[in-house]
Amino acid sequence: MRYFGTDGIRGVVNEFLTPELAFRLGNAVGNMVNGKVFIAKDTRNSGDMLEAALIAGITSAGADVYRCGIMSTPALALITKLENAAGIMISASHNPPEYNGLKVIMKGYKLPDSLEERIENEMQNVKYNSFEKVGRVIDYKLAEEEYFNYIKELYKNLDLSGLKIVMDVANGATYNLNPKILEYFGAKIEVVNNEPDGFNINKDCGSTHPENIKNYIVNGKIGVLHDGDGDRCIFLDENGQEFHGDKIIGLTALQLKKEGRLKNDKVVVTILSNMGLERFLNENSIDVVRTKVGDRYVLEEMLKENIILGGERSGHIIYLDRSTTGDGLITALETLSAVVNSGKRLVELSKLIPDYPQVMINVKVNDKEVYKSKEVFEKLKSIKDYRVIVRPSGTEPVVRVLVEGPDMDESTIIANDIADLIKKLDDKKE
């Protein structure tokens, strides 16, 4: 597809992602829906510009816009489900501030490839409605309250009093609401990176930079870290060590099984999830299904196989009986609930779930197809006793190299050898 990647339309602002592109998307969606489109955004400085372009496109097609303001992607997804409507989220998730993105959501769910292809076709020909049918813009001030009320009802018996939490909101969409919600359930909250200025979203903070809040983890505190649009969550335990998505899936899978919520005793993970997690789940009579990287593929498998829990090591985790998409707040609440019910500290629970050493290297390239070369294939064939994954990023000009195995030093050597080969082959193509 020309515009849509693995997670909507995403790119550098005013290079790939322009107001014209946003206008065309808005016009296409406005012509496809019946009535209204909800819009939300994260805290990037380009959000206002893209929002204005989307609004012009949607209303020119005759649909009304319900503007939700700064809000997380999962909160917008919930509202589109409750309102039986379409939505567009303006966010580039965990990417740096020069990027932005446009994610189309229909009745709570991200779109299948077929619908994205249809939208791309519609974007080629702008269709204006007559002047008397131009849509209106409504500031939907109930959006935050609607989401908060849903969460309160979902976890009405949850008591987090006694937990001391450092919350890193990545200067992003969750900076205001999510700390309030955790406080509502009784946790004592210290919030960091909650002063967005339009340019500091995800910058050395949030779930992609957990190392930067380790100095806050003292006196029995644990860390809860989101990304820019709030669909991810990871933790730091009481020792400041990362409790990532694999460990969250392992811990909460057991809790869901105890509660009778884990349908078919299966969990969906991607090819990047650690072999240690798979072993842990199998030992607890839980089967593991693996998919390609990307939450959309995780969700597709969950829906196909009637599986409740699935996610990624990055902390993008879906609890399908709670939400239609990954929700960092729900992930936090499910994990904290499991911690409280266990009566143990997070650092103790972390030790129960093994984690084989993994090395990930992002190789910047001009041609991502270089990973398919014969030389790379032969190199991979020669490696024994280590799991190796080489794949292109869906949103950035990089090829990702992942090596997993029993020895960290050997994994690092293998990963560097493959990365060097890819860089060398890419340089030859210039």
Instruction: Please tell me whether residues 252 and 316 are part of one structural domain.
Output: yes
* Boundary residue ending a domain (213, 241, 269): 241
Contact between 324 and 108 under an 8 Å Cβ cutoff? The reply is yes
- Residues 17-32: what's their mean pLDDT? 98
Q: Given pLDDT bands bounded at 50, 70 and 90, which one contains residue 430?
A: low
Residue 289 tokens, joined: 């299904």
Instruction: Please tell me whether residues 366 and 347 are part of one structural domain.
Output: no
Instruction: Please tell me whether residues 214 and 266 are part of one structural domain.
Output: no
Give bridge partners of residue 101 from the DSSP assignment: 10
Q: Given pLDDT bands bounded at 50, 70 and 90, which one contains residue 416?
A: very high
Angle ∠(257,263,265) on CA atoms, nearest 5: 60
Q: Given pLDDT bands bounded at 50, 70 and 90, which one contains residue 219?
A: very high
List strand residue ranges (DSSP E) for 150-265, in order.
164-168, 188-192, 222-226, 233-236, 242-243
Residue 395 has pLDDT above 80, yes or no: no
Instruction: Please tell me whether residues 137 and 21 are part of one structural domain.
Output: yes
pTM for the full model? 0.87
Residue 66 tokens, joined: 């319900």
Tokens 């280590």 belong to residue: 386
Tokens 């960091």 belong to residue: 192
Nearest to 88 by CA among 123, 50, 138, 61: 50
- Residues 318-323: what's their mean pLDDT? 97
Give bridge partners of residue 38 from the DSSP assignment: 66, 87
Instruction: Please tell me whether residues 19 and 129 are part of one structural domain.
Output: yes
CA quadruple 15, 19, 25, 28: dihedral positive or negative?
Answer: negative
pLDDT, residue 309, reads 98
Share of the chain above pLDDT 90, in %: 87
Q: What CATH number has the domain bearing residue 411?
A: 3.30.310.50
Residues 6+ apart with CB under 8 A from 404: 274, 275, 356, 357, 358, 359, 386, 387, 388, 411
Length of the chain: 430
Query: Domain tally for the chain?
Result: 4
Contact between 307 and 314 under an 8 Å Cβ cutoff? The reply is no
Cα(106)–Cα(88) distance, integer angstroms = 9
Cα(213)–Cα(171) distance, integer angstroms = 13
Could you tell me the CA-to-CA distances from 66 to 105, 107, 109 in Å, in that order? 14, 14, 18
* Boundary residue ending a domain (187, 217, 241): 241
pLDDT, residue 80, reads 97
* Average pLDDT taken over every residue of the chain: 95
Share of the chain above pLDDT 70, in %: 100
Q: Given pLDDT bands bounded at 50, 70 and 90, which one contains residue 124?
A: very high
Element housing 234 (H / E) = strand 233-236
Residue 1 has pLDDT above 80, yes or no: no
- Residues 315-341: what's their mean pLDDT? 97
pLDDT, residue 34, reads 84
Residue 42 has pLDDT above 80, yes or no: yes
* Boundary residue ending a domain (224, 241, 258): 241
Cα(421)–Cα(430) distance, integer angstroms = 15
Instruction: Please tell me whether residues 262 and 340 are part of one structural domain.
Output: yes
- Residues 222-233: what's their mean pLDDT? 97
Instruction: Please tell me whether residues 58 and 109 are part of one structural domain.
Output: yes
- Residues 287-316: what's their mean pLDDT? 94
Residue 376 tokens, joined: 């790379």
- Residues 332-356: what's their mean pLDDT? 96
Instruction: Please tell me whether residues 138 and 156 are part of one structural domain.
Output: no
Instruction: Please tell me whether residues 9 and 138 are part of one structural domain.
Output: yes
At 156-207, the pLDDT tens digits run 999 999 899 999 999 999 999 999 999 999 999 999 999 999 999 999 999 9
- Residues 394-404: what's their mean pLDDT? 89
Residue 103's domain spans which residues?
4-143
Nearest to 220 by CA among 328, 344, 315, 351: 344
Catalytic residue among 46, 72, 93, 323: 93
Residues 6+ apart with CB under 8 A from 357: 404, 405, 406, 407, 408, 411
Cα(335)–Cα(110) distance, integer angstroms = 24
Cα(81)–Cα(75) distance, integer angstroms = 10
Instruction: Please tell me whether residues 114 and 24 are part of one structural domain.
Output: yes
Contact between 22 and 50 under an 8 Å Cβ cutoff? The reply is yes
pLDDT, residue 275, reads 84
**350 carries an active-site annotation:** no
Instruction: Please tell me whether residues 133 and 20 are part of one structural domain.
Output: yes
Phi, psi of 13 (to 5 degrees): -65, 135
Cα(324)–Cα(77) distance, integer angstroms = 7
Tokens 């990702």 belong to residue: 400
Tokens 């990027």 belong to residue: 99
Cα(127)–Cα(426) distance, integer angstroms = 42
Radius of gyration, CA atoms only, the chain: 22
Q: What CATH number has the domain bearing residue 231?
A: 3.40.120.10
Contact between 182 and 160 under an 8 Å Cβ cutoff? The reply is yes
* Alpha helix positions (H), 83-129: 113-123
Give the 3-state secondary structure of residue 155.
coil
Angle between helices 143-154 and 328-342 (to 10 degrees): 20
- Residues 104-120: what's their mean pLDDT? 93
Give bridge partners of residue 408 from the DSSP assignment: none
Instruction: Please tell me whether residues 281 and 343 are part of one structural domain.
Output: yes
pLDDT, residue 201, reads 97
Tokens 């790939």 belong to residue: 16
Element housing 349 (H / E) = helix 346-352
pLDDT, residue 295, reads 87
Residue 429 has pLDDT above 90, yes or no: no
At 76-91, the pLDDT tens digits run 999 999 999 999 999 9
Residue 273 has pLDDT above 80, yes or no: yes
Contact between 213 and 166 under an 8 Å Cβ cutoff? The reply is yes
- Residues 344-353: what's their mean pLDDT? 96
